[in-house]
Amino acid sequence: MSDKDTSLIPKGEYCYGEGGKCPYWSLKEGLPEQENGYCSYLEKSDYDINEEQGDIPWKTGKDNSVVLITEPHAIPIGLLWDQCKECGVNEWTEEDLEELMNEQGKNI
């Protein structure tokens, strides 16, 4: 990944921004819906991310006493399909968020 240009990755938590879509994001044919997002920066799809996650503990009941284990893909974890970043590159910093909130306040 080190040879890939991170300046091309939009700022924020999504695979798109003011400059458009991240060049590393795409949908990969042949994968199930909502597991077909692909990041060529990470060289992973949602399907790959969900495989890596493995079984997911899932607590139910008011006291969280019942624990069910779901199979991989039963509760998809990867959100690339929805253009949510999985790479973590150029995500908002606390300073960025504060600046955005100040700008929003000026526009009200």
Q: Any idea where the domains of the chain sit in the sequence?
A: 7-106
**pLDDT band per the 50, 70, 90 thresholds, residue 59:** confident
Q: Evaluate whether 71 touches 54 at the Cβ level (below 8 Å).
A: no
Q: What is the 3-state secondary structure (H, E, C) of 45-102?
A: EHHHHHHHHCCEEEEECCCCCEEEEECCCCCCCCCHHHCECCCCCCCCCHHHHHHHHH
Integer Cα distance of 92 and 94 in angstroms: 7
The whole-number pLDDT of residue 107 equals 65
pLDDT of 95 > 60? The answer is yes
- The partner residues of 16 in beta bridges, in order of sequence, read 21
Q: Evaluate whether 83 touches 46 at the Cβ level (below 8 Å).
A: no
pTM of the entire structure?
Answer: 0.77
How do residues 20-44 score in pLDDT, each as one tens digit?
A: 999 999 999 999 999 999 999 999 9
**pLDDT band per the 50, 70, 90 thresholds, residue 2:** low
